[in-house]
A and B are shown apart, each in its own frame.
With several copies, the nearest count.
Chain A
Amino acid sequence: MQLSREALIRAYRQMKTIRLFEERLHDEIALGEIAGFTHLYAGQEACAVGVCEHLGPTDYIISTHRGHGHCIAKGCDVMAMMKEIYGSRDGLCKGKGGSMHIADMNVGMLGANGIVGAGAPIAVGAGITAKSNGTVSIAFSGDGACNQGTTFEAMNMAVVLKLPVIFVFENNHYSEHTGEAYAVGAESMTARSAAFGMKAIKANGIDFFSVYDAMRELIDYCKAGNGPASIELDCERFYGHFEGDPQRYRGPGELDRIREERDCLKTFRTKVTEAKLLEGAELDRVDAEVSDLIDRAVAEAKQADRPTPQDVLQDVYISY
Chain B
Amino acid sequence: MAIKMIRDVIRDTIDEEMARDDSLIMLGEDIVGGNGAPGGPEAIGGIWGTSGGLWAKYGADRVIDTPISESAIIGAAAGAALTGKRAIAEIMFADFIGVCMDQIWNQVAKFRYMFGGKTTCPLVIRMPYGAGFNAAPQHSQVIHQFVTAMPGLKVVMPSTPGDAKGLLTQAIRDDDPVIFLEHKALYGVKGEVPDGDYVIPFGHARQVTQGDDVTILATGMMVGFAEKAAAELAQDGIGCDILDLRTTSPLDEEAILDSVERTGRLLIVDEAPPRCSFATDLSALVAQKAFASLKAPIDMVTAPHSPVPFARELESAYLPSPDKIVASAVKLMSYRRG
Which of A43-51, A179-187, A267-275, A283-291 contacts the other chain?
A: A179-187
- Asked if A318 contacts B176 (CB within 8 A), the reply is yes
Q: Once the chains are docked, how many angstroms separate the CA of A195 from the CA of B298?
A: 59
Given A125-B76, A129-B84, A184-B67, is A249 in contact with B133 using a C-beta cutoff of 8 Å? Answer: no
Which residues in B have their C-beta under 8 angstroms from that of A97? 114-116, 136-137, 310
Q: Once the chains are docked, how many angstroms separate the CA of A127 from the CA of B317?
A: 38
B114 contacts which of A93, A132, A161 (Cβ < 8 Å)? A93
Which of A4-12, A15-23, A107-115, A198-206 contacts the other chain?
A: A107-115
Which residues in B have their C-beta under 8 angstroms from that of A115? 95-96, 98-99, 102, 106-107, 138
- Asked if B44 contacts A177 (CB within 8 A), the reply is yes
Q: Once the chains are docked, how many angstroms separate the CA of A181 from the CA of B309?
A: 36
- Asked if B309 contacts A312 (CB within 8 A), the reply is yes
Given A148-B69, A312-B314, is A101 in contact with B137 using a C-beta cutoff of 8 Å? Answer: yes
- Asked if A178 contacts B37 (CB within 8 A), the reply is yes
Q: Once the chains are docked, how many angstroms separate the CA of A161 from the CA of B79?
A: 14
Which of chain B's residues 99-126 have a Cβ closer than 8 Å to chain A? 99, 102-103, 106-107, 111-120
- Asked if A101 contacts B83 (CB within 8 A), the reply is no
- Asked if B311 contacts A88 (CB within 8 A), the reply is yes
- Asked if A179 contacts B310 (CB within 8 A), the reply is no
Q: Once the chains are docked, how many angstroms separate the CA of A315 from the CA of B175?
A: 12
Asked if A313 is an interface residue, CB under 8 A from chain B, the answer is yes
Given A96-B311, A150-B71, is A105 in contact with B118 using a C-beta cutoff of 8 Å? Answer: yes
Given A35-B311, A249-B39, is A317 in contact with B134 using a C-beta cutoff of 8 Å? Answer: no
Given A121-B71, A125-B82, A149-B71, is A315 in contact with B116 using a C-beta cutoff of 8 Å? Answer: yes
Asked if A137 is an interface residue, CB under 8 A from chain B, the answer is yes
- Asked if B79 contacts A178 (CB within 8 A), the reply is no
- Asked if B314 contacts A311 (CB within 8 A), the reply is yes
Asked if A60 is an interface residue, CB under 8 A from chain B, the answer is yes
How would residues 60 to 102 of chain B score, 1 for a CB under 8 Å from any chain A CB and 0 otherwise?
A: 0100111111011111111111111101000000011011001
A121 contacts which of B72, B84, B111, B203 (Cβ < 8 Å)? B72
- Asked if A315 contacts B112 (CB within 8 A), the reply is yes
- Asked if B317 contacts A93 (CB within 8 A), the reply is no
Asked if A128 is an interface residue, CB under 8 A from chain B, the answer is yes
Q: Dominant SS at the B interface?
A: loop
Q: Once the chains are docked, how many angstroms separate the CA of A104 from the CA of B111?
A: 11
Q: Once the chains are docked, how many angstroms separate the CA of A177 from the CA of B45?
A: 10
Which residues in B have their C-beta under 8 angstroms from that of A2? none
- Asked if B152 contacts A118 (CB within 8 A), the reply is no
Which residues in B have their C-beta under 8 angstroms from that of A92? 116
Which residues in B have their C-beta under 8 angstroms from that of A254? 38-39
Query: Looking across the interface, which residue of chain B has its beta carbon closest to that of A144?
Result: B68
Chain A CB within 10 A, most for which of B107, B111, B310, B312: B310
- Asked if A306 contacts B67 (CB within 8 A), the reply is no
Given A315-B112, A317-B154, is A121 in contact with B76 using a C-beta cutoff of 8 Å? Answer: yes
- Asked if B82 contacts A105 (CB within 8 A), the reply is yes
Which residues in B have their C-beta under 8 angstroms from that of A124? 72, 75-76, 79
Which of chain A's residues 217-253 have a Cβ closer than 8 Å to chain B? 247-252
- Asked if B103 contacts A121 (CB within 8 A), the reply is yes
Q: Once the chains are docked, how many angstroms separate the CA of A126 from the CA of B135?
A: 27
Which residues in B have their C-beta under 8 angstroms from that of A130? 83
A126 to chain B minimum Cβ distance, whole angstroms, is: 4
Asked if A36 is an interface residue, CB under 8 A from chain B, the answer is yes
Which residues in A have their C-beta under 8 angstroms from that of B112? 315-318
A153 contacts which of B72, B81, B115 (Cβ < 8 Å)? B72
Q: Once the chains are docked, how many angstroms separate the CA of A104 from the CA of B116?
A: 9
- Asked if A320 contacts B250 (CB within 8 A), the reply is yes
Q: Once the chains are docked, how many angstroms separate the CA of A103 from the CA of B72?
A: 20
Which of chain A's residues 113-155 have a Cβ closer than 8 Å to chain B? 113-118, 120-132, 137, 144-145, 147-150, 153-154
Which residues in B have their C-beta under 8 angstroms from that of A79? none
How would residues 127 to 152 of chain B score, 1 for a CB under 8 Å from any chain A CB and 0 otherwise?
A: 00000011111110000000000011
Asked if A55 is an interface residue, CB under 8 A from chain B, the answer is no
- Asked if A117 contacts B99 (CB within 8 A), the reply is yes
- Asked if B79 contacts A62 (CB within 8 A), the reply is yes
Q: Once the chains are docked, how many angstroms separate the CA of A107 from the CA of B152?
A: 24
- Asked if B30 contacts A176 (CB within 8 A), the reply is yes
Q: Once the chains are docked, how many angstroms separate the CA of A250 from the CA of B44?
A: 11
Which of chain B's residues 132-190 have a Cβ closer than 8 Å to chain A? 133-139, 151-152, 154, 175-176
User: When A and B form their complex, which 3 residue pairs have the shortest distance between CB atoms, in order from nearest?
Assistant: A121-B75, A125-B79, A182-B36
Extra contacts besides A60-B83, A129-B85, A249-B44 (14): CB < 8 Å: A35-B312, A60-B79, A87-B310, A96-B116, A96-B309, A103-B115, A105-B115, A114-B95, A124-B72, A125-B82, A177-B44, A183-B67, A311-B309, A316-B151
Of the A-B pairs whose beta carbons lie under 8 Å apart in the complex, a sample of 21, sorted by A's number, is A37-B133, A88-B311, A97-B115, A100-B136, A108-B83, A110-B82, A116-B68, A122-B79, A153-B69, A156-B72, A160-B67, A161-B66, A178-B34, A182-B37, A248-B33, A249-B44, A250-B38, A251-B37, A311-B309, A317-B152, A320-B203
B interface residues (Cβ-Cβ under 8 A, vs A):
25, 29-30, 33-40, 43-44, 47, 61, 64-69, 71-85, 87, 95-96, 98-99, 102-103, 106-107, 111-120, 133-139, 151-152, 154, 175-176, 203, 250, 304-307, 309-314, 317-318
